[in-house]
Structure 1
Amino acid sequence: MSLDPDDPRPPYQQVSSVLRAAILTRKEGFVPGDKLPSGPVLAKRYGVARGTVDKALDLLRGEGLIVTRQGSGSFVRERTERPVGLRPHLEAAFEEPAVTIDFAGFSSETLYSAMQEPLDKVRSGRVAPESITVRLLLPDATEPMGVPVSVDGLRDEEALRKRAHNIGVTNAGGIKHSVEVLAEYGLVKSARVEVRVHRASSLFKLYILNGREAFFGFYPLRERTLAYEGQSYSFFDITGKDTTLFTHSSGPDDASIGSQYVQQAQRWFDSVWDTIAYEREAQA
């Protein structure tokens, strides 16, 4: 199994990407506790030097996907309830024929950024999913919300909501365009992004990838001061980029903690989507 000669990434990154996808999707049968093939075996499999494999495994260790035991080898680590980064999991999700991404949160800004690498891979032909479906569940910033609010008396400020609305429109619109244009170019058979809003304030974010992995994190709140449209505001706001994500993955059976968490996360998302969420054209 040789690496893609057209992939511009260094070989160690390519090897880590292939192994990461195998671990996250369990295509190779990897489950928590399983031992990875030895360094020499992996080097032969991918046609690279042993040092390249070592660097690839270092990346996976840094992401918390594997643990190496002296004299025993490297093993797939239990990833449930551990802080993680979203990007490598998104890249692995795009290795599947049908990609589904459900997001509930404040603005989808982090998702928009994290999706650029896997979307680049689709555009360059390095991955070829058949379909991509994204659902974005966002707060209706045209209505009063819990945050952002003025520090002085927790007053609702229409200007702050307008700013939040614009952030949501920009990122949701960016995701919608960058995904749906893939179908227009014939790179995937189906590509759809749906956006719905609701009147509840988003104090946490949730991602569900391919119905098998759920990522959850609380938005920290902080006091901010900034000028907007010629006026200075002191207000409480969320800090999405400071959110620590925890992942739960479906296990080998429905009784596992990971499987139950993903099922309940999906059930919550679908219930909100189908009841109190609604389309608002200006928000999408």
Structure 2
Amino acid sequence: MSIDPEDPRPPFQQVAASLRAAILTRKLEPGNQLPSGAELAKAYGVARMTIQQAIRLLRDEGLVVSQQGRGVFVRERTSRPVGLRPHIERAFSAKNVTIDFAGFGGETLHGALQEPLDKVREGRLSPESVRIRILVPDLSAPMGLPVRADTLSDDPEVRKRMRRIMLRYTQGIEDVVHELENLGLVQSATVKTRVYSVAPMFKLYIINSQEAFFGYYPVKENTVPIGKEKVEIFDLMGRDATLFHHAADEDSESMGSQYIAQSQMWFDSIWENVSREREE
């Protein structure tokens, strides 16, 4: 990693070309953190300003994202599906953890939280506060989905079953997060769940107001047990939703930053205006 004095390009373009090649050949994988500016300056034998110019060029190309206080990361391309779990875990390295979820039941979030919460219990992660908001449909009233496959009509028994599943995961999240505060492992731990009268067609996670994951629910035929009967329904299949990643960076006008801002605005508008507390 050195600058070629015979190369007519300015040093910052040479550095950018070297890092670009490492990213495109996947020597630096999506989500990987780049070495610090000081480390790169030493490796390439250039000034810190040269590294900053190179990073700015790569950021403009959408190859990297700068996260304040954390460093520079290879961008998780929005054209590629990505996993939620490692990002949830990384979020818990922050001083104050915030997660906003909008979707159908919270099963994926429940699973993704288990490992970082275990690490908090073990003392390997130590946030000061954790705040989670969960926005799910009001399954006490008729909805457009899920519906019976034979008549495309609402079935109260199907909704009751779905509501039991939703309560299992949302209450599970509440219990394990509140336990952190009860054990004195964090100063503050809150989980709030609210419902609204819309069948969600997508799931959205907003993490530390810096990252968002978005995916559409495919509607598929599914067989569910209702009492002693098996009923065919059209269901929202959360496990089949492909999540895409977006991240804010230091440029408030970038696509990633605007996506995060608009996602947060949408979530807050539903939460504050048309949702209500979930009934037990």
TM-score (ref. length: structure 2): 0.75
Taking only the aligned residue pairs, the percentage that are identical comes to 47
Distance change in 2, residues 1:28/1:230 (3 Å): farther
Pair 1:223-2:228 in alignment: no
Q: CA deviation at 1:78?
A: 2.6
Amino acid at match of 2:199: S
TM-fit CA distance, 1:145: 1.3
TM-score under structure 1 length normalisation: 0.74
**Cα deviation, residue 21, structure 1:** 8.5
Residue number in structure 2 paired with 1:209: 207
**2 CA distance for matches of 1:80 and 1:20?**
7
Q: Distance in 2 between matches of 1:117 and 1:227?
A: 31
Alignment of 1:94-173 (within 5 A): 94-173=92-171
The separation in 1 between residues aligned to 2:41 and 2:82, in whole angstroms, is 21
* Contact 1:80-1:249 at 8 Å conserved across structures: no
Unaligned runs of 5+ in 1: 1-18, 39-64, 67-74
Q: CA deviation at 1:231?
A: 1.7
Q: Cα offset for 1:242? A: 1.1
The amino acid that maps onto 1:180 is H
- Match of residue 179 from structure 1: 177
1:180-239 CA-partner distances (Å, limit 9, x unpaired): 110000000000000000010011000000000011000011111232211221110011
Amino acid at match of 2:92: F
The corresponding residue for 1:77 is: 74
Gap runs ≥5 in structure 2? 1-28, 44-62, 65-71
Which string of whole-angstrom CA distances, capped at 9 and with x for unpartnered residues, describes residues 140-185 of structure 1? 1111112110012211001110011001100000000000110000
Counterpart Cα distance in 1 of 2:42 and 2:162: 48
Counterpart Cα distance in 1 of 2:32 and 2:122: 21
What is the aligned residue count? 225
Q: Distance in 2 between matches of 1:37 and 1:85?
A: 33
Partners of 1:80 and 1:258 within 8 A in 2:
no
Q: Match of 1:45? A: none
- 1:178 and 1:246 map into 2 onto residues whose CA distance is 27
Question: Aligned partners of 1:196, 1:163: CA distance in 2, in Å?
Answer: 19
Give the drift of 1:91.
Answer: 0.6
The aligned amino acid for 2:126 is A
Deviates more, 1:116-125 or 1:145-154: 145-154
Cα distance, 1:123–1:36 mapped onto 2, change above 3 Å: farther
Once residues 137 and 41 of structure 2 are traced to their aligned partners in structure 1, the CA distance between those partners, rounded to angstroms, is: 43
What's the secondary structure of 2:232's corresponding residue?
Answer: strand
Cα RMSD of the aligned pairs, angstroms, is: 2.7
Partner-residue secondary structure (3-state), 1:253: coil
Conserved? CA contact 2:99–2:206, under 8 Å = yes
Q: Which residue of 2 aligns with 1:242?
A: 240
Q: 1:270 aligns with which of 268, 271, 279?
A: 268
